[in-house]
Amino acid sequence: MKLVFILGNAAVGKMTVGQALMKITNLRLFHNHMTIEPVLEIFGKYDRKTINGLREIIFTNFAASNNYGMIFTLMMAFDQQSDWEYLEHIKNIFIPYDTEFYYVELIASQDIRLESNTTENRLKCKPSKRNIFDSNQRLIDDDKKYRCVSYEGEISFENYLRIDNSDKSPDEAALLIKETFKV
């Protein structure tokens, strides 16, 4: 089993790169809004306990399956210990299944991310982002509140790749991930 984490800031292209990577590998995509959006729809608000509970079931059952592997996308705040602990928690679900772990960090400037925050694919897959003004404001506020870009050399994972995808298409980024990790 292989588990590719695609980490990064809001609207940096995690889902889109994950979609492109899924097309050229046998990996399945589980982007974080696959649990966020239904919970928002049902509960009328963000409910972390329910979202994490749904993810737990998916991770547990997927890890025990015969699937080749998974791509999981996550907005990562590198200055929040709880985000590091959550990555370890997910990893611990998969460890008993001889899983190989890969970590991709996508980075891009706020201007580029604000532009990508309005793309057709993003708005189609993430209804909670359709109020562009509110979505842009959350992105700007989160940039002030969290550090969602790692420091150079901060990440010590064995299989780690940092991609500045400011000038890369999702297909180019996906191909780079596939070739680097042989997934």
pLDDT of amino acid 58: 98
pLDDT of amino acid 129: 87
pLDDT of amino acid 128: 83
Tell me how far apart the alpha carbons of residues 17 and 23 are, in angstroms, rounded to a whole number.
10
* Span 105-163, pLDDT tens digits: 999 999 999 999 998 888 888 888 888 999 999 999 999 999 999 998 899 999 999 99
* Span 28-49, pLDDT tens digits: 999 999 999 999 999 999 999 9
Crossing angle between the packed helical segments 14-24 and 170-181, to the nearest 10 degrees: 60
pLDDT of amino acid 20: 98
R_g of the chain computed on alpha carbons:
16
* Span 79-117, pLDDT tens digits: 999 999 999 999 999 999 999 999 999 999 999 999 999
pLDDT of amino acid 150: 96
Residue labelled with tokens 């809001």:
10
Can you say whether residue 182 is alpha, beta or left, with left for phi > 0 and alpha for psi between -120 and 50 degrees? Answer: left
User: Can you tell me the mean pLDDT for 46-65?
Assistant: 97
User: Can you tell me the mean pLDDT for 14-31?
Assistant: 98
Q: Are 3 and 70 in contact (CB under 8 A)?
A: yes
Tell me how far apart the alpha carbons of residues 178 and 183 are, in angstroms, rounded to a whole number.
5
Q: Concatenated DSSP letters for 108-166?
A: --HHHHHHHTT-HHHHHH-GGG-SHHHHHHHHHHHHHH---SPPTT----SSEEEEEGG
Tell me how far apart the alpha carbons of residues 156 and 23 are, in angstroms, rounded to a whole number.
28
Give the confidence band of 167 by pLDDT, cuts at 50, 70, 90.
very high
Give the confidence band of 182 by pLDDT, cuts at 50, 70, 90.
very high
